[in-house]
């Protein structure tokens, strides 16, 4: 079964990174163009919570249902219950480097359906495609956490 690992650091405390990933808008915030995500339902992150959505790659829709497991301050796992792949399990791990920096490790185990049924997932969810997707997510995570920190600082100083 193929595995994919992606590592990056964020200039934000562990609590901020964890809080960011608990936001039910997270998937929209972390989906880069040319993809588009349509949320059907997204329960607050908790053990057994579900997310139902469609990822659009141009005119091609990929309907997905994910269930969250092992939810805690250091991360969580989302496992595809229904979707375009035979198997998809994505583990997000957050480790504090210090009070202001967090290390993020994204680990994915996946398997495509054989034959024609898996042609689209093989095209989109392969090593180069995952690397591009998670590089964009790294930048988007950093951007949103930096923006949230600036807003918090402005509120704390009474400018908002």
Which tokens belong to 127? 């090593």
Calculate mean pLDDT across residues 54-60. 91
Which has the minimum average pLDDT: 87-91, 107-111, 148-152? 148-152
pTM over 0.75: yes
Cα separation, 11 vs 97, whole angstroms: 10
Calculate mean pLDDT across residues 101-125. 93
* Segments making up each domain of the chain, as ranges: 3-24+73-156
What separation, in Å, do the N-terminal and C-terminal C-alpha atoms of the chain show?
A: 50
* Dihedral angle over CA of 121, 86, 62, 107, nearest 10: -70
E-state strands within the chain: 3-10, 35-42, 50-57, 60-72, 75-82, 87-98, 101-111
Q: Cβ neighbours of residue 125 under 8 Å, at least 6 residues apart? A: 84, 85, 88, 110, 112
The pLDDT score that the predictor gives to residue 27 is 92
Per-residue pLDDT reduced to its tens digit, 25-53? 999 999 998 899 999 999 999 999 999 99
In terms of Cα–Cα distance, which of 68, 60, 58 is closest to 89?
68
CATH tag, 3-24+73-156: 3.30.530.20
């Amino acid at each position: 079964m193929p595995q994919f690992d992606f590592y990056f650091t964020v200039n934000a405390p562990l609590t901020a990174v964890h809080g960011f990933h608990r936001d039910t808008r997270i998937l929209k915030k972390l989906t880069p163009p040319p993809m588009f995500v349509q949320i059907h339902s997204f329960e607050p992150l908790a053990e057994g919570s579900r997310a139902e959505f469609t990822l659009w790659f141009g005119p091609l829709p990929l309907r997905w249902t994910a269930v969250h497991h092992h939810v805690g301050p250091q991360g969580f796992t989302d496992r595809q219950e229904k979707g375009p792949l035979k198997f998809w399990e994505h583990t997000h791990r957050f480790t504090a480097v210090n009070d202001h920096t967090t290390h993020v490790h994204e680990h994915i185990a996946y398997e495509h359906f054989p034959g024609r049924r898996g042609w689209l997932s093989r095209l989109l969810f392969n090593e180069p495609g995952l690397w591009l997707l998670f590089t964009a997510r790294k930048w988007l995570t950093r951007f949103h956490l930096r923006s949230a920190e600036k807003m918090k600082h402005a509120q704390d100083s009474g400018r908002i």
